[in-house]
Amino acid sequence: MSAVNLKIDKLSYSEYSGHQTIIDHIDLAINNTEFICIVGPSGCGKTTLLNTIAGLLNSPDAAVTFSQADIRLGYIFQEPRLMPWLTLQQNIELVLPQSNPQLVKQVLKQVGLSAYSQHYPNALSGGMLRRASIARAFVIQPQLLLLDEPFVSLDSPTAMKCRALLLDMAKQHQTTMVFVTHDVNEALYMADRIVFLSNSPSTIIHELVLNQSTQQHSGNYESPHQQALKSALFSQYPKILEGTLATG
């Protein structure tokens, strides 16, 4: 399996027959196995950008191109979006082109849900449902994984566990990741690169490259390393952070 490069070239997107521009000429190149975080205020068009990459929304020809013709794409939505009438195991099997119980079992074990494989989603907690959606995304061994604020409604310790799990699985599967959040802390914690979007109509207002390979994820936003990153960012880009944090 190989991860993919993704190129976004002058992508614009409008709603209401072109009367409301959501995304305005975004250019972005995402490299193989890169973990990129897209940060911006609520309502700026982050989800629209992801949906356009995923092909759920129509974009102009050649605005979104991949380095390969057919790619395995995973998407972890804001809500877990599991089928309520299927068991956890069936939900994960659903996205596989062919039945592979061993693989499903293995992925469920990785996310710590082996004991719940026969449970229906309504019998699982919020954190379990997030882990289930991570399992569903990784079972297809995605080359590109899109994530839309997947941990936004979780309590802090559960969200932290889910982040650690996600980083672990991304590293293991060598997947290119596009992670949308309005939380700068979360982006600093996870990303190789952060792209800051403006308010709607959104454009890229800044990019920040982080070298996560030298970072050590402590599993804590308040770690000295995380604090140092945050201070550096605040001092360098106060206006960007005001814009994103104020509405985040």
Partner 1 sequence: MANGAVNPHTMPMAPLYIKLGVFTLLMALWQGLAMLLEVPDLPSVTQTLQALYYHTHEGDLINNVLITLGRVLISFTLAMLIGSIFGIAMGSKAWFNNISDSLLIILLNIPALVVIILSYIWIGLVEAAAILAVVINKVPTVAVMLREGARTTDTKLADVAKVYQLSWYRFMRAVYLPQLYPFFLAAARNGLSLIWKIVLVVELLGRSDGVGFALYSMFQFFDIAGILAYTMVFIAVVFVIELVCFKPFDLRIQRGR
- Minimum Å gap between C-beta 217 and partner 1 is 28
Query: Is 241 within 8 Å of 234 (Cβ atoms)?
Result: yes
Token pair for 54: 């995923």
Please tell me whether residue 120 binds partner 1 under the rule CB under 8 A: yes
Which range, of 24-32, 115-123, 198-206, 219-227, touches partner 1 by CB under 8 A? 115-123
* List 99, 102, 122, 213, residue binding partner 1 (CB under 8 A): 122
Please tell me whether residue 171 binds partner 1 under the rule CB under 8 A: no
Please tell me whether residue 84 binds partner 1 under the rule CB under 8 A: yes
Please tell me whether residue 56 binds partner 1 under the rule CB under 8 A: yes
How many Cα atoms are found within 13 Å in the side-chain-facing hemisphere of 232?
10
Which range, of 9-17, 69-77, 173-181, 227-235, touches partner 1 by CB under 8 A? 69-77
Place of tokens 């590109």: 144
* List 29, 62, 123, 232, residue binding partner 1 (CB under 8 A): 123
In the complex with partner 1, which residue's Cβ is closer, 144 or 229?
144
Q: What is the dihedral of CA 55, 58, 62, 63, to 10 degrees?
A: -90
β-bridge partners, 180: 38, 148
225 membership: H or E segment, kind and range: helix 224-236
* List 20, 29, 62, 81, residue binding partner 1 (CB under 8 A): 81
Please tell me whether residue 105 binds partner 1 under the rule CB under 8 A: no
* 166, burial (CB in 10 Å: exposed 0-12, middle 13-18, buried 19+): buried
> Phi-psi bin for 194: left (phi > 0), alpha (psi -120 to 50), beta?
beta
* List 40, 74, 150, 243, residue binding partner 1 (CB under 8 A): 74
Residues lying near partner 1 in the complex (CB under 8 A) are found at 51, 54-56, 73-75, 77, 79, 81, 83-87, 90, 94-95, 118-123, 136, 140
